[in-house]
Chain A
Amino acid sequence: MNRGVAITGMGMISAIGNNVAENFASLLSGRSGISKITQIKTVHESEIMVGEIPLTDDALENTLGYAHDTYSRTPLLGIIAAKEALAQAGIKDVSDYKTGLISGTTVGGMDKAEEYFYDYYQTDAHWNHINGLHAGDSTQKIADAIGLTESFVTTISTACSSAANAIMLGARMIKSGELDRVIVGGSDCLSKFTINGFKTLMILSDTYNTPFDENRKGLNLGEAAAFLVLESDKVVKNENKEVLAYVKGYGNSNDAYHQTASSEHGDGAVLAMEKALKVAGIEPKDIDYINAHGTATPNNDLSEGRAIIRVFGDNIPEFSSTKPFTGHTLAVAAGVEAIYSVLAIQNNIIYPNLNFKTPMSEFKLLPQTTLKNKEINTVLSNSFGFGGNCSTLIFTKEA
């Protein structure tokens, strides 16, 4: 049984940066990536704000050396992030150890599917995307791009907790010795499908999202890809790897309350946090920072806030939501925030919960609103999704 699940590489692209370093710089400078939408033509463009990556598909394809219209945006973003993660981990041959890939996505190739939905019947020009609607197809394209063959490759889709669950499965695979190394995270692009879907649920804000604020109006959708390289004790020792942090705890639970909404008192969230603490073998008092799900919907922040109070009682550590920086990147949210959690541990820093003004009337929770230096050894990160899906991850400095 492996003692620690080491994180040895990270890669990402989001609205606040094309790599990990750019993301961290934006977090430090308080630069939000929320803007009007430019990459998708939608009738809602004046009513919504998004966390968009300000690059066209062509620009992404150029970066990767691909021809025009090769892939959906989901695998393009994923490939960029996965390659950065492998580079940081110093991996040249992805097959030199027993390696797997586990990715989370909600939309997969929906961007192309909706664009060419009727077009497929008129011309064969875009038939290359027909089979790309499978969520698994985007993962396989990432596997192809990093040269991963004859391996354990799979895709998880549990709405907005997908990447948390990908990281969780990866950690369990390393712990049990099924894999020596696993690349975990997720990729999701913006699409008309999700914009209109969330619009029908009336939880999209028409301005900058304000997590844990009394007057919050909903979320801003975002897009991103984020991957982490997890490695076993054996690989770390053999290769003399620098370890960035460890995946120490994880828990998934179902709220079993409603198809889309969280329960009033956050039952599922409480269970997920408690499970993760138990797996990590630590107490709530050991947590130095909570990176909250904090989507800024009326329902999530109330439910999550109550759940945090139930788990932490009177000793709630600093907490913040980074969604005002990136928007809610759906399947990838937990991947983005896992990397932010590791950066918090590496740099002993807590990120501000931007846009917060008025405490919520239901409780006295106050998020951290300024950048704060503090010794950070342990971070707890929450991610919750439709279908009652609640996940918590715990990252630590030491194994």
Chain B
Amino acid sequence: MKKEVYINSIGSVSVQKTFDDSAFLEDIVTYNDNAIKVVDPNYKEFIPPAAARRMAKGIKMSAVSSQNAMKEAGLENVDAIIVGTGLGCLGDSEKFVRDILDNDEQYLTPTRFIQSSHNTVAGSIALDMGCKGYNFTYVHSNLSFESSLWDAKLQLATNEAENILVGAVDELVNHHVETHKFIDHIKKEAVPMEDVLNSGTKGIVFGEGSHFFVLSNKKQGSTYSRLIDMGIYNTLPEEKISETITSFLENNKISISDLDGVILGNNGDVEFDSIYKNLGTSLFEENPQLVYKHLSGEYDTASGFAFWLANKIFKTGKVPEILRWNNLPINNPKRLLIYNQYRGKNHSLVLLEKC
């Protein structure tokens, strides 16, 4: 008998003030840029100075979001830690490469190399928590977080684990931003937040963030939602997206009209946003549509922000106006579908139900 999978807590550090759990997108951080950094929480409240001195930004952000998630779930330890990251602690990788090239492979120090291991965040959280359980890191572009969720769901449904800390983290790094501007993956020009999704130009506004959640097969007082199902597809021809979503829902005995809203990954890249726009005027025409990447920026694990958002909406019953993409009314939604893709590849579906 398969067990249900619940989201029992959330934690977030992002471009918005999401680390503060008392408010929900009330005080929006605006920008006029093509690369946006997180609002830094007071890391010292979470990390002892001796530990902080070598930590990459991704580890620091994740210390905050993971500790917040653990605290809310009322846990000291978990059975497994699973983290998704497109590029790991890229800041240190970039510095290490720079050191190699600039110093002709001389006088290099180990810290930057150690931080560059993709699994350094998951390892560091385990070390801090003393968690000897299962410890995985997925690094598959914009399916990194979804792969982690998938793995957690598999273990919880089959009762291999009871509580799993699942996270998603990526850092903003200058070399990455500069080079991706060359190839039009990141916008060459600065764009004000309110115009990003209708910018009409190539590329995205790059962001960063860290999102952690405790998933469990036991419902408790803090439970936000139930993960009904999810889908991962490395490729999908555009003409098959609608039918794939429809059959995904049918498998779960849910029709399109049963969805109280869809959270779409529009990121303002004129070349690929048509995928969402076409769905918005066809399959999802009757559904309230929400968007978020103008607030979070786009990065490999930006869908972690969407997952945070959906759960926050369930808990508060509120849908901030700034998220709304069409005009259909949405009140206290019970069931939300998150659909994401990046540059037409790596499509994912995550279906959540309020608890």
Contact B136–A252 (Cβ < 8 Å): yes
Contact indicator per residue, chain A 91-122, by CB within 8 Å of chain B (1) or not (0): 00000000001000110101001100110110
With a cutoff of 8 Å between Cβ atoms, the chain A residues found around residue B124 in the complex are 259, 387
Q: Tell whether A151 is near chain B: CB-to-CB under 8 Å.
A: yes
Q: Which residue of B lies closest to A252 (CB)?
A: B134
Q: Tell whether B154 is near chain A: CB-to-CB under 8 Å.
A: yes
Contact indicator per residue, chain B 70-98, by CB within 8 Å of chain A (1) or not (0): 00000000000100001110000100111
With a cutoff of 8 Å between Cβ atoms, the chain B residues found around residue A271 in the complex are 132
With a cutoff of 8 Å between Cβ atoms, the chain A residues found around residue B178 in the complex are 121
Q: Tell whether A268 is near chain B: CB-to-CB under 8 Å.
A: yes
Q: Tell whether A210 is near chain B: CB-to-CB under 8 Å.
A: no
Contact B135–A254 (Cβ < 8 Å): yes
Contact A159–B236 (Cβ < 8 Å): no
Contact A389–B135 (Cβ < 8 Å): yes
Q: Tell whether A200 is near chain B: CB-to-CB under 8 Å.
A: yes
**CB contact under 8 A between A153 and B179, given known A118-B101, A256-B126, A387-B135:** no
Q: Tell whether B108 is near chain A: CB-to-CB under 8 Å.
A: yes
Q: Tell whether A131 is near chain B: CB-to-CB under 8 Å.
A: yes
Docked complex Cα distance between A388 and B135 (Å): 9
Is chain A's interface secondary structure helix, strand, loop, or mixed overall?
mixed
Q: Tell whether B219 is near chain A: CB-to-CB under 8 Å.
A: no
Contact B126–A150 (Cβ < 8 Å): no
With a cutoff of 8 Å between Cβ atoms, the chain B residues found around residue A198 in the complex are 113
With a cutoff of 8 Å between Cβ atoms, the chain B residues found around residue A143 in the complex are 234-235
In chain A between 152 and 207, which residues have their CB closer than 8 angstroms to a CB of chain B? 152-159, 165, 169, 172-173, 176, 178, 192-193, 196-201
**CB contact under 8 A between A201 and B110, given known A114-B101, A158-B136, A257-B127:** yes
**CB contact under 8 A between A388 and B140, given known A42-B105, A117-B101:** no
Q: Which residue of B lies closest to A153 (CB)?
A: B234
Docked complex Cα distance between A78 and B186 (Å): 29
In chain B between 130 and 160, which residues have their CB closer than 8 angstroms to a CB of chain A? 130-141, 143-144, 147, 150-151, 154, 157-158
**How many chain-B residues does the 8 Å CB contact rule pick out?**
67
Contact indicator per residue, chain B 161-194, by CB within 8 Å of chain A (1) or not (0): 0000000000000011011101101000000000
Q: Tell whether B201 is near chain A: CB-to-CB under 8 Å.
A: no
Contact of A113 among B97, B138, B139, B158 (CB under 8 A): B97
Q: Tell whether A249 is near chain B: CB-to-CB under 8 Å.
A: no
**A6 → chain B, closest Cβ, in Å?**
20
Q: Tell whether A66 is near chain B: CB-to-CB under 8 Å.
A: no
Contact B182–A127 (Cβ < 8 Å): yes
Q: Which residues of B contact A (CB under 8 A)?
A: 81, 86-88, 93, 96-98, 100-101, 104-106, 108-110, 113-114, 116-120, 122-124, 126-127, 129-141, 143-144, 147, 150-151, 154, 157-158, 175-176, 178-180, 182-183, 185, 232-236, 240, 244, 300, 345-346
Chain A to chain B: the 9 pairs with minimum beta-carbon distance, closest first: A387-B123, A197-B113, A157-B118, A136-B140, A153-B234, A136-B141, A200-B110, A135-B139, A254-B135
